[in-house]
A and B are shown apart, each in its own frame.
Chain A
């Protein structure tokens, strides 16, 4: 969430009205239009998946969260409430799907960055002004945007099929 390992991160976990489960992670002190080591220092990161019955989640120190999956094959459905520096017991945000006893299966995860303001624009003015990102005209906040991302995969599959039909007409 920052190029600075000493920057403090804050985070949350929730499920949207369209049943998309997500961790949201952000730099506590947002630095608009700033970067550190080629990483933007503002905006909210979303790490999401479908909130299926088999899903478990956990946030916490990397050894705890990954350790829970290694030991139990699932996560504790718990949140770490100790907001701290990124490098302090490296907080990680886990999502786990139990596919059960199967011959085939799959899971889809989404990673995204929601910034309310993406650029500064001067135009003919002597000063720059922040410009809101286009997505904010469609969705009121990042969690609404994440909630609607599922439809994209179906759309892409349809596009891919149409492109294939064009290139290889049968």
Chain B
């Protein structure tokens, strides 16, 4: 995702499988990684927001937003 040509945002969803590590595998957890990088060589003010809702509505469960200056 790009914000004009100033900042790029990558969002990675990862649900890992660790067959050699039952302790880690026993956790039903997924990861959401948000990565931002400047596209124009300049610094930018960045605030990230992510939420979950208590119930499914409009098929939304996780919401992600960014403020970029």
Contacts and interface: CB of A to CB of B under 8 A. Distances in A.
Contacts, number: 161
A39 interface: yes
20 contacts: A75-B49, A86-B53, A90-B57, A92-B52, A92-B54, A94-B50, A97-B48, A99-B47, A103-B37, A107-B48, A111-B32, A112-B29, A135-B26, A135-B28, A137-B26, A138-B23, A152-B24, A152-B29, A155-B24, A159-B18
Majority-rule SS of B interface residues: strand
Interface in B10-69: 14, 16, 18, 21-24, 26-38, 41-57, 62-63, 65, 67
A92 B28 contact: no
Interface of A: 1-3, 5, 7, 9, 11, 23, 25, 39, 45-47, 49, 62, 65-66, 69-70, 73-75, 86-87, 90-115, 133-135, 137-138, 145-146, 149, 152-153, 155-156, 159
Contacts of A70: 65
